[in-house]
Structure 1
Amino acid sequence: MVNVAAEVWEHGRTTPERVAVRSPRRITFGELRAVNARVAGAVRDAGLVPLDRVLFIAPSIPEFVEIYYGLHAAGVTVITMNTMSTIPEIGYVFDDSGAELVIAWHENAANAASAAAERGTPFWEIRPGASFDSAPLTRPHDHAPDDTACILYTSGTSGRPKGAELTASNLLETATAFQRVLNLRAEDRYGTALPLFHVFGQADCLNAALVAGASFSLVHPFDAAAVLEVMVADRLTVASGVPTMWNAMVQVDNAYTPADFAHLRVALSGGAPLPAATLRAFQARFECTILEGYGLTESTGGAAFSDVSRPTKTGTVGPALPGTELEIRDSDGAVVTAGVTGEVFLRGPTIMKGYWNRPDVTAAELRDGWLRTGDLGSLDDDGYLNIVDRVKDLIIRGGYNVYPREVEEVLYQHPSIVEVAVIGVPDDHYGEEIAAVTVLRADAVETPETIRAWAKERLSPYKVPRLFSFVEALPKGGTGKILKRAIDREGLRRNTTGDRKA
């Protein structure tokens, strides 16, 4: 049977007393299966049939898990959205997807309810202890492998958001691939504070863990100290996050020692490049290595990962996931040799079916099964992938290519810098100038001049930021990823000063 819910339900049949969700509420696989079945029954009783679209908005709480697999069991196409989405954003997804039902957690329900009311679409508000009284569905829907099981909308950094169609097979193949590279077993205790509405938390973490029969602990909202407490209390063996989360955790002041985390065998990071300084600090404090991975919504969140059974190479995101092919191509589309930087292309069982109702965009981005990622990278002789930057983030200053990630890696080594985003801003002379938007430690006394002087000792002259802006916090999305597109480049150009020396 091709349905991610069927794999989870099988554990409810064979080992019903095994814990599926451990924090903040304990749910066994048997209990999860029973709730899923009632949710699926309610969806069917509401008149929905397989492949009807259902919009689901909820944070990373146990109720997400109960409803999510219930929707999959019913065979509907699940569309999850950021809990901070506005009425226009929800309305856009409604209209684009043709959703027939919206379900939202009560704390995030107002905007969803308004958008649904404007369109006359049924709306269900979910509260703690919600019960579904319909007759339970006895078995999950059996999908065709290429049925669209999920539609996850991209962030819309260029134009309106596009709905990536992830198939029933995509979800299962991704879960299986991550089980293999993480060596996941039913005895594992997995945990995260990642948002489950995002592909990383949902497809790569939640699905991988529960399909393997492991337990899953949730922390919401993200709080670095709270995550560490759950890691210790639930004796997590696997934990996942994005770089800003790991960076926050290494700075928490508490009495924990590495012995408190002796059970943690692997931590994984994705969503954005992990600064080497953060990786080293985490390993020193917790005596556990963070393994990096790489993927996109369009690849069900998975493409490459630092397999636990293979040597780790710092600075890379590992080799391709099992079954996935990686190529690096130049601007003419020709495959380049090892060590040469070009655009990353992907092909394999985790690659999306296409963009919902966007055949023109699908044809442009997905050719002969190969997905054009828009990311710059290189492969080494062993097939390990190094992500250099986003194509669109490349800064061209006076004819020189500057990769923001390379500059950020150096700046993160500065003892006074907590977070930094390096971006290009318009410049009349050079075309683009390099700016560093920086969060400093509370006791820092640095100035743009002192940091620039420090950077000049570690970077080629043309890579050194000329413009600095000190801020209290950088803009972040729902996953904790730094949103460079939300930084006011024109404001930086007007309000920030710097030198013009090469």
Structure 2
Amino acid sequence: MANVFDPVRRRADTDPDTVAVRGDITASGERAVWTYGRLRSDCLDYAGALLAAGLQAGDRVLLVAPSVPEFVVAYMGIQAAGCVVVPVNTMSTRHELEYVLADAGCSLVIVWDGVGPAAKDAASALGTPVWPLRPGAAQGAVAAQVRDRDPADTAAILYTSGTTGRPKGAQLTVSNLLSAGTIGAACSRGSSADRTGTGLPLFHVFGQASVMMATFSCGGSLSLLSRFDPAAMLAMVRADQLTIMAGVPTMWNAMLHVSGDVDPRDFAQLRVAVSGGASLPSEVARAFEARFGCTILEGYGLTETTALGTFNDIDRGAKTGYTGAAVPRTEIQVRDSDGRQCLPGRVGEVYIKGATVMKGYWNRPADTAAVLADDGWFRTGDLGQTDVEGDLRIVDRVKDLIIRGGYNVYPGEVEEVLYAHPDIIEAAVVGVPHDHYGEEVAAVVAVRPGAELAAEQVASWARERLSAYKIPRIVRFVDALPKGSTGKILKRSIDREALRKVGP
């Protein structure tokens, strides 16, 4: 028997005065700080309030909050009570929240005071009770006893982005989340002396599983930004003397473009920067190391694998373009269209098996069967290839593959070339319908302030580095690309029809 709350409870039993969570640094320099002892007490009080309100083990609770310490209190309180947390994006609309509330059958909505009215309106429409989550997260309830749970019990339901059809709720078990914590800590060689910081949203699997759970599993401290800001992130590195930092490629890129001189000695204690969520352009990784003196190590995982799959070996260092080998207790295979395992160097679909693979989609047996085999192998929908050392390179999403005149074009390869251009700071490559070729290669790019770049210059840059069929014939300039809650570029938000009118 186990509970997701166990790592917090263990650390609080041995070192209650150690800092567990730090919040935003305010303009006055003040911030919210929870020790492990306080966190344990507040989480158990929160659990007690949930049980006093009549919630039962297995009841689903919607949690709408940014990355503040109170998110952790509510999240772990829900776990301690034996309920199931359903964390959602704070920018979700009423329509989106009504769907999740109904689909998950939530018994309660917990919403941060600073979030807009969408969650309350959705709850009102469905007659679901709402609790405000306020600074301090105090409930004044009688502390609950931690509920022991079966490791296979569902502990969290995280809804996928819904790139096709309606969003599906990935059921992550008690064992999935605890395993993600111990595996993540092992990958970063984490210890109780580590100080981890992030601007990732905790409602997303990356921040929740491989950052929060990993930090608590090794008994370290976690510094949070409620909203990512590159200058604030760099200030937090200095103020908290962070040893581990986690983010997505757009965050590293944004930090690179913070004005002012940076002394790498300010970051001497930073052991590793963990990157995930999207492929890391090699130019961004090289520039980050040159400016801050810190190596970014890339990993790969999905919501359905509790954020984990592969990670670059921290002792060996980064291998440019690769997300590393399978993490502990995990297997990776690349298979062709007939289901046969590919030889190194051949592109195929990535499959994952291991301790962090979800138990299935909530109330969707057919969707579960389509991606999760009886022997435990999960079909990711990502295209990749391994090298002779077993390291994985993600080529692209199967659905993002562009087929131009019968030739396969992997957007990630083209984007890598575009990111190497000194004036391009963001790039996304997509396929646009074409009467003759079937699809045409289109690039949407954002350039650095003050730069003047023409579409033909972008195409010429690519022409010098890529085969003719991979060159973007359509180039559109934007101030910034659309991004999701983690900062990941959202290609599905790019209007293909509008690009078609741009050219060629």
The TM tier, using the shorter chain, reads over 0.9
| CA offsets 1:343-391 (integer angstroms, 9 cap, x no match) | 0001111000000000011111100211000000011111110100000
Contact 2:296 2:318 in 1 (8 A): no
Contact 2:295 2:318 in 1 (8 A): no
Q: Distance in 2 between matches of 1:43 and 1:195?
A: 24
Contact 2:43 2:73 in 1 (8 A): yes
Question: What letter matches 2:77 in structure 1?
Answer: G
The reply to whether residue 80 of structure 1 matches residue 70 of structure 2 is no
Q: Distance in 1 between matches of 2:136 and 2:177?
A: 28
Question: What letter matches 2:340 in structure 1?
Answer: A
| 2:324 aligned residue | 318
Question: What letter matches 2:135 in structure 1?
Answer: P
Question: What letter matches 1:245 in structure 2?
Answer: M
Contact 2:262 2:292 in 1 (8 A): no
Tell me how far 1:149 sits from its aligned partner: 0.3
- 1:42-53 matched pairs, under 5 angstroms: 42-53=49-60
- 1:290-369 matched pairs, under 5 angstroms: 290-367=296-373, 368-369=375-376
Question: What letter matches 2:257 in structure 1?
Answer: Q
Q: Distance in 1 between matches of 2:344 and 2:315?
A: 23
Contact 2:298 2:318 in 1 (8 A): no
Question: What letter matches 2:272 in structure 1?
Answer: V
Tell me how far 1:66 sits from its aligned partner: 1.2
Tell me how far 1:311 sits from its aligned partner: 4.6
Tell me how far 1:492 sits from its aligned partner: 0.6
Identity over the aligned pairs, expressed in percent? Answer: 56
Tell me how far 1:407 sits from its aligned partner: 0.3
| 1:141 aligned residue | 147
The reply to whether residue 193 of structure 1 matches residue 193 of structure 2 is no
| 1:448 aligned residue | 455
| CA offsets 1:309-359 (integer angstroms, 9 cap, x no match) | 345321100000101011111011111111111000011110000000000
| CA offsets 1:151-205 (integer angstroms, 9 cap, x no match) | 0000000100000000000001111111111000000000000000000000110
| 1:160 aligned residue | 166
Q: Distance in 2 between matches of 1:134 and 1:497?
A: 63
Equivalent position SS for 2:114 = helix
Question: What letter matches 2:488 in structure 1?
Answer: K
Tell me how far 1:443 sits from its aligned partner: 1.3
Q: Distance in 1 between matches of 2:156 and 2:313?
A: 26
- 1:39-438 matched pairs, under 5 angstroms: 39-138=46-145, 140-367=146-373, 368-438=375-445
Tell me how far 1:457 sits from its aligned partner: 0.8
Q: Distance in 2 between matches of 1:304 and 1:475?
A: 27
Q: Distance in 1 between matches of 2:339 and 2:196?
A: 40
- 1:452-467 matched pairs, under 5 angstroms: 452-467=459-474
Contact 1:103 1:123 in 2 (8 A): yes
Q: Distance in 2 between matches of 1:109 and 1:5?
A: 29
Q: Distance in 2 between matches of 1:312 and 1:447?
A: 34
Q: Distance in 2 between matches of 1:425 and 1:119?
A: 40
Question: What letter matches 2:264 in structure 1?
Answer: P
Equivalent position SS for 2:439 = strand
With normalisation by structure 1, the TM-score equals: 0.98
Question: What letter matches 1:12 in structure 2?
Answer: A
| CA offsets 1:475-498 (integer angstroms, 9 cap, x no match) | 00111100000000001101x133
| CA offsets 1:247-304 (integer angstroms, 9 cap, x no match) | 0001111232100000101001000001111000000001110000000000001010
| 2:37 aligned residue | 30
| 2:4 aligned residue | 4
Q: Distance in 1 between matches of 2:215 and 2:301?
A: 18
- 1:487-502 matched pairs, under 5 angstroms: 487-494=494-501, 496-498=502-504
Equivalent position SS for 1:161 = coil
Q: Any gaps of 5 or more consecutive residues in structure 1? A: none
Q: Distance in 2 between matches of 1:22 and 1:46?
A: 29
Q: Distance in 1 between matches of 2:262 and 2:196?
A: 20
Q: Distance in 1 between matches of 2:437 and 2:447?
A: 28
Q: Distance in 2 between matches of 1:249 and 1:323?
A: 34
Question: What letter matches 1:35 in structure 2?
Answer: D
Q: Any gaps of 5 or more consecutive residues in structure 2? A: 25-31
Tell me how far 1:13 sits from its aligned partner: 1.4
Q: Distance in 1 between matches of 2:134 and 2:42?
A: 14
Equivalent position SS for 1:100 = strand
Contact 1:78 1:151 in 2 (8 A): yes
Q: Distance in 1 between matches of 2:55 and 2:66?
A: 24
Equivalent position SS for 2:358 = coil
With normalisation by structure 2, the TM-score equals: 0.97
Question: What letter matches 1:60 in structure 2?
Answer: S
- 4+ residue runs over 6 A deviation: none
Contact 1:20 1:28 in 2 (8 A): yes
Contact 1:378 1:387 in 2 (8 A): yes
Equivalent position SS for 1:410 = helix
Q: Distance in 2 between matches of 1:333 and 1:290?
A: 33
Q: Distance in 2 between matches of 1:268 and 1:131?
A: 33
| 1:479 aligned residue | 486
Tell me how far 1:307 sits from its aligned partner: 2.5
Contact 1:188 1:238 in 2 (8 A): yes
Q: Distance in 2 between matches of 1:406 and 1:450?
A: 18
| 2:13 aligned residue | 13
Q: Distance in 1 between matches of 2:74 and 2:167?
A: 25
Q: Distance in 1 between matches of 2:456 and 2:231?
A: 34
Q: Distance in 1 between matches of 2:205 and 2:297?
A: 18
Q: Distance in 1 between matches of 2:47 and 2:313?
A: 36
RMSD of the TM alignment (CA)? 0.9
Q: Distance in 1 between matches of 2:86 and 2:452?
A: 47
Contact 1:109 1:125 in 2 (8 A): no
| CA offsets 1:97-146 (integer angstroms, 9 cap, x no match) | 100011000121511111111111111011223421210113x2111011
Question: What letter matches 2:273 in structure 1?
Answer: A
Equivalent position SS for 1:68 = helix
Equivalent position SS for 1:7 = helix
Q: Distance in 2 between matches of 1:71 and 1:186?
A: 25
Question: What letter matches 2:208 in structure 1?
Answer: Q
Equivalent position SS for 2:343 = coil
